[in-house]
Amino acid sequence: MGLSRRKFTREMKLAAVERLEMGASIAEVARAFEVNANLLHRWRKEFRDGPGNAFPGVGKRRWDESRVAQLERKIGQQSVEIDFLKGCLQRIEEQRKQQALIGNPRSMRKWRSKGEEKGR
């Protein structure tokens, strides 16, 4: 399966070039915008050649806002589920410790057949 090319909005390109023009380093801006430094050099050159005509194409944001919100909801739901399961595991461990102190572990009764219990 081939990789699709990322498309960047005109606003994003202008924001990146503006940060460069304000004195930020290429590496800083590249990390912030998650793009290659060579791409930033090209954008800056295109902007300097003709600021009014720079970046005429229609771009697409790397992460759509609705997708980000969807992923944040999913993370929240998974956090709730993990907390719930941790609580369940903790209660099970406490029950096992109590049964071990009593000397009649429940797990052993579960595995015995009905015939063995009657013979006791």
User: What secondary structure letter does DSSP report for 77?
Assistant: H
Q: What is the pTM of this model?
A: 0.44
Fold (CATH) for 7-62: Arc Repressor Mutant, subunit A (1.10.10)
Rounded alpha-carbon distances, angstroms, from residue 54 to 9, 23, 43, 85: 12, 20, 8, 53
Q: Tens digits of per-residue pLDDT, 4-54?
A: 778 888 888 989 999 998 989 999 999 999 999 999 999 998 888 877 777
Q: Tens digits of per-residue pLDDT, 62-73?
A: 556 777 888 899
Q: Record the tokens describing residue 66, joined without a space.
A: 């609705």
